[in-house]
A and B are shown apart, each in its own frame.
Chain A
């Protein structure tokens, strides 16, 4: 459902079916809508069977990287004598993304169910739901849902009467973008500074509290009960383009567009139809100029690229970008791309955890140069410097925040160079020098 817009007939509402439906937030309401059937079914199966079903469904991580969920779960070796943990990444801090927020606001029990199911599948007894600090309403809804689930015996020492122990801890973050990075999130859960950790060891070997850990996105976990209820084939059949991208995906749309909101479509949906049909196209009298399709960390697309895109993991890569988190940011002809990219760079400079040299210094330096160009004080050398800084920031650091800062800058200069040059060529006005001359 294109919440807060009315549902569009071309959408595939699986997760978003009850967005805007106040009654779905309660346990009773959720049960009336078929809730907890997936979990009930799952608890009657072995964890290995669940992992096989998820593998067969083709479900891939919805947080941005698109790693196959079933394979990720299969890394958690049963019977290693260690406590396993599931962490649900509800930090959703990628600018332009607000799909997990709506899942937690309207269908918190879908996530509780998904977490319980995921925990059981990987042999964990405790699942952490790490919610970003700014999400006050989703946090309250999730806490209430978890309380209800405990009271109803869905969680606790005897989950749904099966004798299995499943605990869910809702953990409130403090509003750092980097805590959405999985290893930084684990540090944050442990009470440390949210700095990403060096990999290896990978979380499946040594994660939160140095125990085997799986981290999944909210959307990934929330959809698993549906797969259990309807079967892997049902999910796999939801595919309009690449067979490697299956199922439905929520896209958060914002920016200069007629109907911003959350839209759920089957993967492989034509991006052109999505923008012009579902989201209503540009505002009256304007035209689209550029799209960031997957949160601000992915390369910017020109409209030619965007309109040729099939909305799935492979489709976005083919057209010079990435699916990312599904946060679609639209810019129209009224926007100056230099200003927008400078703003994005400032965000990354503010959020860098300050561990790696290239990221700490590079994001800030990029920001200073971008803002100077924006203010009409840039030079052509600055563009070369930006490329060189971006190169130093890519693929050389502990996490990808530094790469993420370089991405919009590089794609922006490459695709919208004329806007940079227009600002550089603009006559510079220096009042003091002018007075002396």
Chain B
């Protein structure tokens, strides 16, 4: 370990750490643009210049390794003047079009200019102008805003390992270019948008949709595949605007794939069930939870139960559904949709997985059987519980087998209109809980938006049914269900909902 002082704070870091990283650990943010912890060191923006005692020149802190006894000053006049100079240079050709820029409010150029940049420009000459370019995929390049930090170029070269981008031209004519015949269509290319510290690389998908300060951010987990990438769900007025990766060193580093990133519109879908429904003769009538829960319990009482579960339900819900199956003597299945794998070569064990569901591992651990068809094993006379599973492939003959159908779901598809009771639940962005990814990592997701109408969190609904059947307790917090699961299921033994934090923990006996 190397001991040094940064802005008067003593810090001890491993040998070879950069001053900039050491500063982060000491709780001091050294302004920077080209540096990104997930990429190689470029040292070209010169924004992270700091003064190191006894050094003749200012040191680029991203490219300078710590040394024993070093004394680093970030806010001396010399260092501040140098960084002010860099900001002035970055801004002379910048269009300063913050009022119409999507990045505004979360732009590092804005942040550091407010922090220590020049108050006015000394440029008396016309600014350089370049047209906007479509980079393909989801990416739009606003050349004039670019500060040429080359984060995007390095990401494509080193992490995606698909050389699409380059620095074209020299001097102040330089810009980010595409190699001839190449487009930013790599499955992971969208990450360049998040990596861009300014408003140069923008998402076409969320272009002009919202100002960043109007957005609420909720930490969550991507349900696009079994990788379990950590994400932030950004919403405005209860509507999901975009998904962005949230760093987790253990799972997805700083990245997420475009498939996951752009698969969010279903969260906002409007054809949701908003009230509990109970069969009255030929039709389903709106009801209340006080009536619907006992009705559902009556349906299940004393019958064998078959649960068709969605692999995107939380561990908590699946655990309670598992208890229902176990107590009634039935079986539970789930079906995972699959697609082609798309690994990110520069990061170990990060890939868009073939299994396109978040919680297949959890479902298996909690006693559900993975099948090819959702109703595989459904016996005549069973009560079919459809827990948000996709039954679009089920035949009319299959659906005629059960004695009754209980739907616990977000929507009511046409072929399930024969259900006896329909209970509306929240989707994953509207409730909290945990998923178990393919490496057995249990990760929490939190609520990003309100559920429509009377829809309740799924674990709450199933818990109430169990309580009405006299087979368990009612739960009012996801953490209570998690605690019950941890004591009941050996794989989750010893886990604590709060202790999972934002990094998660791995189930016992897992491959990892």
Interface size counted on chain A using CB atoms at 8 A:
33
Within the assembled complex, what's the spacing in Å between the Cα atoms of A358 and B47? Answer: 10
Task: Give chain B residues whose Cβ lies under 8 Å from the Cβ of A360.
Answer: 89, 148, 171-172, 174
The answer to whether B44 and A356 touch across the interface, beta carbons within 8 angstroms, is: yes
B39 interface residue, CB < 8 Å from A?
Answer: no
Q: Can you name the residue of chain B whose Cβ is closest to the Cβ of A395? A: B57
Contacting chain B: which of A11-19, A33-41, A218-226, A364-372?
Answer: A364-372
Contact, CB under 8 Å: A357 / B41: no
Is A198 an interface residue when CB atoms closer than 8 A count as contact? yes
Contact status of A361 and B90, CB under 8 A, knowing A198-B43, A372-B125, A392-B85: yes
Q: Which of B89, B125, B167 contacts A357 (CB 8 A)?
A: B89
Q: What is the CA–CA distance of A355 and B169 in the complex, to the nearest angstrom?
A: 11
| Partner among A198, A372, A392 whose Cβ is within 8 Å of the Cβ of B82 | A392
> Could you say which of A101-109, A288-296, A330-338, A346-354 contacts chain B?
A346-354
Contact A357 B82, beta carbon cutoff 8 Å: no
Say yes or no for B342: interface residue by CB 8 A criterion.
Answer: no
Q: Report Cα–Cα, A355/B47, bound state, in Å.
A: 12
Cβ–Cβ < 8 Å partners of A352 in chain B: 170-172
Question: Bound complex: CA of A267 vs CA of B188, how far in Å?
Answer: 60
Give the residues in chain A near B44, CB-CB below 8 Å. Answer: 355-357, 398
A22 within 8 A of B: no
Partner of B123, one of A353, A363, A365, A397: A365
Report the number of A-B residue pairs with Cβ-Cβ less than 8 Å.
94
List the B residue with the shortest CB-CB distance to A177.
Answer: B170
Q: Which of chain B's residues have a CB closer than 8 A to the CB of A388?
A: 85, 122
Distance of A176 Cα from B122 Cα, bound (Å): 31
Among residues of A, the one whose C-beta sits closest to the C-beta of B82 is A396
Q: Shortest CB–CB separation between residue A158 and chain B, in angstroms? A: 41
* Complex CA distance for A398 and B82, rounded to whole angstroms: 14
* 0/1 interface trace, chain A 300-317, chain B, CB 8 Å (1 if under): 000000000000000000
CA distance A35 to B213 in the complex (A): 75
A353 to B57, CA, bound (A): 22
> In the assembly, what is the distance between CA of A354 and CA of B171, in Å?
5
Query: Is A380 located at the chain interface by the 8 A CB criterion?
Result: no
Minimum distance in angstroms from B28 CB to a CB of chain A: 21
Contact with B along A119-130 (1 / 0, CB 8 A): 000000000000
B381: min CB distance to chain A, Å: 72
B11 on the interface (CB 8 Å rule)? no
> B43, A357: Cβ atoms under 8 Å?
no
Indicate whether A362 reaches chain B with its CB closer than 8 angstroms.
Answer: yes
When the two chains form their complex, are residues A358 and B43 in contact, meaning their CB atoms are under 8 A apart?
A: no
Contact with A along B77-89 (1 / 0, CB 8 A): 0000010011011
List residues of chain B with CB within 8 A of the CB of A242. none
How far does the alpha carbon of A325 sit from the alpha carbon of B65 in the complex, in Å?
33
| Contact assessment for A361 and B174 in the assembled complex, using a CB-CB cutoff below 8 Å | no
A353 to chain B, nearest CB (A): 6
A198 x B41 contact (CB < 8 A): yes
Given contacts A357-B47, A392-B85, A396-B46, contact A351 B92 (CB under 8 A): no
Of B45, B57, B92, B147, the contact of A365 (CB 8 Å cutoff): B92
A193-B166, A398-B43 known; A361 and B93 CB under 8 Å?
A: yes
Interchain nearest-CB distance for B118 vs A (Å): 10
Give A229 to B90 CA distance when docked, in angstroms: 55
A395 to B57, CA, bound (A): 7
State which residues 105-152 of B face A: CB under 8 Å. 122-125, 128, 147-148
Give A109-142 interface residues, CB cut-off 8 Å to B. none
Q: Is the CB of B46 within 8 A of A368?
A: no
Q: Is the CB of A354 within 8 A of B169?
A: yes
Question: Known contacts A372-B125, A396-B58, A396-B82: does B45 contact A357 (CB below 8 Å)?
Answer: yes
The reply on A414 being an interface residue by CB < 8 A is no
How does the 8 Å CB contact mask read for B11-45 relative to A, with 1 for contact and 0 for none?
00000000000000000000000000000011111
Q: When each residue 143-166 of chain B gets 1 if its CB lies under 8 Å from chain A and 0 otherwise, what string results?
A: 000011000000000000000001
Can you identify 5 A-B contacts, CB atoms within 8 angstroms? A349-B171, A357-B147, A358-B85, A395-B57, A397-B46
| Chain B residues at the A interface, C-beta cutoff of 8 Å | 41-47, 49, 57-58, 60, 63, 82, 85-86, 88-90, 92-93, 122-125, 128, 147-148, 166-167, 169-174
Q: Which residues of A contact B (CB under 8 A)?
A: 176, 178, 193, 198, 349-358, 360-365, 368-369, 372, 381-382, 385, 388, 391-392, 395-398
19 further interface pairs, Cβ-Cβ under 8 Å (given A357-B47, A360-B172, A372-B124): A178-B170, A349-B171, A354-B170, A354-B174, A355-B42, A355-B44, A355-B148, A356-B46, A357-B89, A361-B90, A361-B92, A361-B172, A362-B89, A363-B172, A369-B124, A372-B125, A395-B57, A396-B46, A398-B43
